[in-house]
Amino acid sequence: MTGLLPWLEWAGVAVFALTGALVAARKQMDPFGFVLLGTVTGIGGGTLRDVLLGIRPVPWILDPAVVIICAAVSLAAFVSAHHFEREGRTRVILWADALGLALFTVTGTAKALEAGAPAISAVLLGVVTATFGGIIRDMLAGDVPLALRRDVYVTASLAGAVAFALANRFVSPDLDDVIGFAVVFAIRGLAIRHGWSLPTYGKREG
């Protein structure tokens, strides 16, 4: 998957930046609020992964291309977000977030394996990469993180990261990215469409 990796990473950065900018629209921020929230969402998960792996400096310092992508996407959202009505925007946030979740699960797990992490830690770092950008976004915006709500979310990322690691080891490094991506996006997409959730603790309480 080596050749594809940077493209998948950039696509993940762009769609997560879009979700950050659309949350900024919902909170009626100014253009720099859009850029800040979009950028933090776009690069937050990968930055945390690289800090945990001990890659220094964090790669976007040496090559700020991803930051420029985030700023451009955020400003584009600022000038165009009003074309979506409110429900449309919520739907775009959900689906772009699902796409970013699938892309970052794959790239996060791949980069951790590349850096020499054992499989179980690589899976964890894939989930961290995929979920923490959105967690930081939601915390900055004062919302309960999507990742902690009831719907199947962390589950989808975890299943995809495991599928990626297994495919990388036992199937073929040429297919691992497709398999990992498909698992996350299918599970998360079905969960959005059908309102799936896992049984929660509270259900058994009353």
Query: What tokens were used for 33?
Result: 């609020």
Is 90 near a copy of itself (CB under 8 A)?
no
CB-nearer residue toward a copy of itself: 193 or 204: 204
Q: Which residue of 5, 141, 175, 178 would you call a contact of a copy of itself, by CB under 8 A?
A: 141
Residue 171 lies near a copy of itself (rule: CB under 8 A): no
Q: Considering the complex, what minimum distance in angstroms separates the CB of residue 12 from a copy of itself?
A: 19
Kindly tell me which of 14 and 66 has the beta carbon lying closer to a copy of itself: 66
Q: Does 76 bind a copy of itself (CB under 8 A)?
A: no
Q: Which of 25, 137, 141 is nearest to 81 (CA)?
A: 25
Q: Per DSSP, what are the bridge partners of residue 151?
A: 197
Length of the chain as a residue count: 206
Q: Nearer Cβ to a copy of itself, position 3 or 63?
A: 63
C-alpha to C-alpha distance for 188 and 178, rounded to whole angstroms: 15
Q: How far apart are the first and last CA of the chain?
A: 49
CA distance 165 to 143: 32
Q: Interface with a copy of itself includes 57 (CB under 8 A)?
A: yes
Q: Does the footprint of a copy of itself cover residue 58 (CB under 8 A)? A: yes
Angle between helices 119-140 and 86-114 (to 10 degrees): 150
What is the CA angle 54-58-61, rounded to 5? 160
Q: Which DSSP helix (H) or strand (E) runs through 152?
A: none
Contact between 148 and a copy of itself (CB under 8 A)?
yes
Residue of 2, 30, 88, 90 interacting with a copy of itself (CB under 8 A) = 30
Total site size for a copy of itself, rule CB under 8 A? 65
Residue whose C-alpha is closest to residue 126's, from 153, 92, 151, 162: 162
Percent of residues in the chain assigned helix, strand, coil, to nearest 5: 80, 0, 20
Which of 17, 99, 135, 146 forms a contact with a copy of itself (CB under 8 A)? 135
Looking at beta carbons only, is 115 or 178 nearer to a copy of itself?
115
Binding region for a copy of itself (CB under 8 A): 24-25, 27-37, 47, 51-58, 60-62, 64, 67-68, 78, 81-82, 112, 115, 117-118, 120-121, 124-125, 131, 135, 139-142, 144-145, 147-150, 152-155, 158, 197-205
